[in-house]
Structure 1
Amino acid sequence: MQIISAQPTHQSQGDIEKTAAETAARFQTKDATENVETPWNEEFLVAFSPDDPENPLNWSNKLKWGVTTAVASTGFIRIMVSTMMAPAIETIAKELHMTAIESTMALSVYVLATALGPMVIGPLSEVYGRKSIFHVTNIWFLAWNLICGFVHSKGLLIAARFLAGFGASAVFSLAYGVLGDVWPPERRGRSLSLYLLIPLTGGAVGPIIGGFIVQYSTWRWMFWSTAVFQGVLELSSLMIFYESYAPVLLRRRAEKQRQETGDSRYYAEIEKRESGRSTAWKIQRSLTRPFRLLMFHSIIQMEAILEGINYGLLYFTLSSFSTLYVNAYGESIAISGLHYIAICLGELIGSQICGPVMDYLFTRLKSRDGSTRVPELRIPLMLPGALLTPIGFLLYGWSARYHLFWLVLDIGAVLLALGMQVFDTTLRAYVMDAYAEHISSASAATQVLKSLLAFAFPLFSDSMYQALGYGWGNSLLAFLSIGITVPSICILWYFGARLRARLPSSY
């Protein structure tokens, strides 16, 4: 026999009435709660309709190209300033009493700043919008670039170059965010191609103009002239650059509707996500996003390494290109700068071929599991770029080793630049597809290693070529390039989708 113990069941009349009252009140409260509308009612969610003209993806082509031209022109002058000093390194070193390492540091420290700037600028553009950050960084860059032309000490030159580079770095995260805002994935290739058409010429135009300025004027005009140019671009951009970041636009629309209707229930998705959070928390969350992506997202880690190696190798070539033609071929500084056209030509050809081909493959291919229009469909186009780059290095290096006709060297430079451009543009499109909401932060995360290697590689270019010569030195660079890029392509193709599926949210 089972014995069940229980509490006494007798209660006073008062206790019974009290219990009944509490029960009734509890049910009344429950009913009332269920009848009250939740604070995030979907009926009041502010979002873009499919044909909404205020949605940047639905802007007219004229408006889209206006915004794209604004960031492209900014990219042109930022990249031009980064390479313009190359032919003037020895001249500046003599006037400011700099050692070879210090003068090279003045060139490379600009690139070092582009490793740090995007980590702040990119995330802030996802808090305050693209437009305000774009204009603030433009003015910052203009001021410090102008100061570079007035310096009379090596310390101030290096410091001013660093601060100018910090402002210039905005384009390395902001531009890709803007492109992702206004262009759909199926037009990603063409938009990147046309965007890159202008900035890529800056890498070659900079040393060419710099060489002639140094030979026929003072090196200070390199900075004064580009400051004037930047001022003109900034004034022009005020008329054609519009806010394009959708979450910021929707937040502003929700605020406007709450103000006009007096109904506080209107909200944007980003407001729901950040509900109850302080401004300090929002900024902290945003600023740490590139670090979190770099630390915990394998896709970002791979892109950072791949782009870093390519960018470092490119600056390795840029820093030694003019010196080779001056010392080995007896050309003047001004004429030696013309050979940078070869590198520029390779980049331009690569970008213009890559874009249409990328879009064509993206709409025609299927992934290994039969999916269509997924980021992994960008990957096959990386392989030609990965193979052309080492071929270019070998041709350039061994032609220099045996003092062949200068045109052969330039063909090698064209090939290596073409290969790098195809590879990097395709890889960039892959990451833009994978991180559509936070393209600027993803770009900033990959920019760190990219800029650090571009800063470091030129520092030992002279030492390596003195020890190995141009033949074996460039062979080493070719083996380094192909040894990293080809295995990475295989990993992304076979495991990219699975890696993305396991990644935490980019927010």
Structure 2
Amino acid sequence: MAQAANNEVCEPAQEKEIGLVGDVKTRPADSFLVHFEESGDPLNPKNWPVKKKWVVTSVLSVTGFNRIMVSTIMAPALPDIAAELNMNQTTSVMALSVYLLATAFGPLLIGPLSEIYGRKPVLHGTNIWFLVWNIVCGFANSKSVLIAARLLAGFGASAIYTLGGGVLGDIWRAEERGRSLALYMLVPLLGAAVGPILGGIITSATTWRWMFWSTSIFQLVASILSFFLFHETYAHTILKERAKALRSSTGDTRYHAPIENVQKDQKKGWIWQRNLSRPCRLLIFHPIVQIQALVSGFAYGVTYLVISSYANLWITRYGESASTSGLHYLAMCIGEILGAQIGGLLMDLVFQRLKKRRGGTITAEFHVPLMLPGCAITILGFLLFGWSAQSREFWVAVDLGALLLSFGSTLTGQTLQAYVIDSYPDHTSSALAASQLVRSLTAFGFPLFGPQLYAALGYGWGNSLLALITAAIGIPSPIVLWMFGAKLRSKASSTY
């Protein structure tokens, strides 16, 4: 049944919910199978009141803001940290990037765990884990302690990369994907750009250690709020609890949830092996996940390359102070905000128009068309940013290029995320964990060769090379997905 649900391509949106637990048409005639009612079941997260959906989305968005902000907040303070802890340039950049290395491998465990135990316990557990190790970063008295604590904090922070998409897929319908992603991504995207700005201000006003202490205070407040405001969203977990309650109240052990039916007679070792190996299996065997990993991985890596080197550009080529150079990250911040908000509106608009054109049927490919303009805007941003910086043009031209670069990357990434959410409804977190592995590895590695790239080619030709690679990856990908995406999904084996 899982395979049948995952292989559905086009169905009237009002007739079915995509996925194992809500697929009305493929539901077996089993009077003891516990499932959501076919219409209006209040336990079904997709039937929750809109206000409750926005509250849950906002909780994830706020905690995502802090976790992502911590990934970049160190950028302008690296010289001060290096001087105090006796670090060279490579080691100090490692302290920044090792956080992202953890976000590569953390989701491979955390994503499947959220599909075994549910989203709620995983969110609360990783909130506490991240808080503890982020505090340790602030008290680090050696480079080894700082790097180790950053690595462990990044592991806890990585949960947001898989939980976010998983929860959005749990509670929002396909035609609402754009606006839900727009709100969810608004605050976390701010984090990546606001991090260096805040880091520069804190470093100038006090000590770099307050970067970690202040974000830990914020994390503590967000964690407490999440205990009261976040509700379980994963349908399999909700139905397992409903089946358990029915078995307890009736004394009839035949009641079972769909996922229990799939796992019946299977040993715990087999269940764990299938769940924990899922992200890697998706990355190895599913072309849709491979395409998302390639496109979003390169875009993510380049974003962190620019973030890690942007302050140095303004300090060395324009003679600005660390605090002033940090203000230029506002350009990237604005680009990401505009990309998320405009992209979300356009995504739902395009989806509705294509749905109407297809006579009310829907398919995940309706999200794909916006990838092409996203790629084109990214290329334009690279060229404007690179050649303006190379010739030391007025700062507005450089910041405008960075804004366009961020806008295009955000638009492309948001569209791809929506496509994967609707392509893998039962195991969204695992699918996103697979692509996050590549994204985080590139975000970890690209800043390490950024200085060498610009030293060898300059900002003009260096960014032109990145624009060329963007075109080579970003233009064919949406064409392949639009033409062959449905066929690839129909031939995909069960994600269980």
Q: Normalised by the shorter chain, which TM-score bucket?
A: over 0.9
CA deviations 1:289-316 (Å, max 9, x no partner) are 1011011111101110111000011011
Asked whether the 8 Å contact 1:304–1:450 carries over to 2, the reply is: yes
Instruction: List 4+ stretches of structure 1 deviating above 4 A.
Output: 366-371
Q: Deviation of residue 371 (structure 1)?
A: 8.2
Q: What is the aligned partner in structure 2 of residue 192 from structure 1?
A: 181
Alignment partner of 1:446 is 2:403: no
1:386 corresponds to which letter in structure 2?
C
Q: What is the aligned partner in structure 1 of residue 450 from structure 2?
A: 461
CA distance in 2, matches of 1:369, 1:47: 30
Q: What is the aligned partner in structure 2 of residue 266 from structure 1?
A: 255
Q: Secondary structure at the match of 2:90?
A: helix
Q: Percent of aligned positions with the same letter in both sequences?
A: 55
Asked whether the 8 Å contact 1:124–1:283 carries over to 2, the reply is: no
Alignment partner of 1:223 is 2:212: yes
Aligned residue among 201, 204, 212 for 1:212: 201
Q: Deviation of residue 280 (structure 1)?
A: 2.7
Q: Secondary structure at the match of 1:277?
A: coil
Q: What is the aligned partner in structure 2 of residue 45 from structure 1?
A: 33
Q: What is the aligned partner in structure 2 of residue 305 from structure 1?
A: 294
Q: What is the aligned partner in structure 1 of residue 233 from structure 2?
A: 244
Q: What is the aligned partner in structure 2 of residue 173 from structure 1?
A: 162
1:438 corresponds to which letter in structure 2?
H
Q: How does 1:112-191 map to 2 (within 5 A)?
A: 112-191=101-180
1:462 corresponds to which letter in structure 2?
P
TM-score for the superposition, normalised by structure 1: 0.91
2:30 corresponds to which letter in structure 1?
E
Q: Secondary structure at the match of 1:222?
A: helix
CA deviations 1:173-205 (Å, max 9, x no partner) are 011101111111110000000111111111121
Alignment partner of 1:486 is 2:468: no
Q: Deviation of residue 372 (structure 1)?
A: 3.3
CA distance in 2, matches of 1:373, 1:353: 22
Q: How does 1:324-343 map to 2 (within 5 A)?
A: 324-343=313-332
Q: How does 1:58-77 map to 2 (within 5 A)?
A: 58-77=47-66
CA distance in 2, matches of 1:244, 1:47: 15
Q: What is the aligned partner in structure 1 of residue 368 from structure 2?
A: 379
CA distance in 2, matches of 1:329, 1:401: 11
Of 368-377 and 260-269, the range deviating more from structure 2: 368-377
Q: What is the aligned partner in structure 1 of residue 486 from structure 2?
A: 497
Asked whether the 8 Å contact 1:393–1:477 carries over to 2, the reply is: yes
Q: What is the aligned partner in structure 2 of residue 417 from structure 1?
A: 406
Of 492-501 and 329-338, the range deviating more from structure 2: 492-501
Q: What is the aligned partner in structure 2 of residue 314 from structure 1?
A: 303
Q: Secondary structure at the match of 1:389?
A: helix
Structure 2 residue runs of 5 or longer lacking an equivalent are 1-27
CA distance in 1, matches of 2:381, 2:277: 39
2:35 corresponds to which letter in structure 1?
A
CA distance in 2, matches of 1:467, 1:269: 58
Q: Provide the aligned length of Structure 1 versus Structure 2.
A: 468
Structure 1 residue runs of 5 or longer lacking an equivalent are 1-39
The structure number with the bigger radius of gyration is: 1
Counterparts in 2 of 1:430 and 1:367: CA distance versus 1, 3 Å? farther
TM-score for the superposition, normalised by structure 2: 0.93
Q: Deviation of residue 90 (structure 1)?
A: 1.1
Asked whether the 8 Å contact 1:346–1:415 carries over to 2, the reply is: yes
Q: Deviation of residue 41 (structure 1)?
A: 6.5
Asked whether the 8 Å contact 1:67–1:241 carries over to 2, the reply is: yes
Task: Report the aligned-residue RMSD.
Answer: 1.4
2:31 corresponds to which letter in structure 1?
E
Q: Higher relative CO (CA 8 A, sep ≥ 6), structure 1 or 2?
A: 2
Q: Deviation of residue 363 (structure 1)?
A: 1.7
Q: Secondary structure at the match of 2:196?
A: helix
CA distance in 1, matches of 2:314, 2:362: 46
Asked whether the 8 Å contact 1:367–1:377 carries over to 2, the reply is: no
1:455 corresponds to which letter in structure 2?
F
Q: Secondary structure at the match of 1:346?
A: helix
Q: Secondary structure at the match of 2:31?
A: helix
Q: Deviation of residue 279 (structure 1)?
A: 2.4
Q: Secondary structure at the match of 2:495?
A: coil
1:52 corresponds to which letter in structure 2?
D
CA deviations 1:181-240 (Å, max 9, x no partner) are 111111000000011111111112111110011112110000011111100100111110
CA distance in 2, matches of 1:63, 1:369: 32
Of 277-286 and 370-379, the range deviating more from structure 2: 370-379
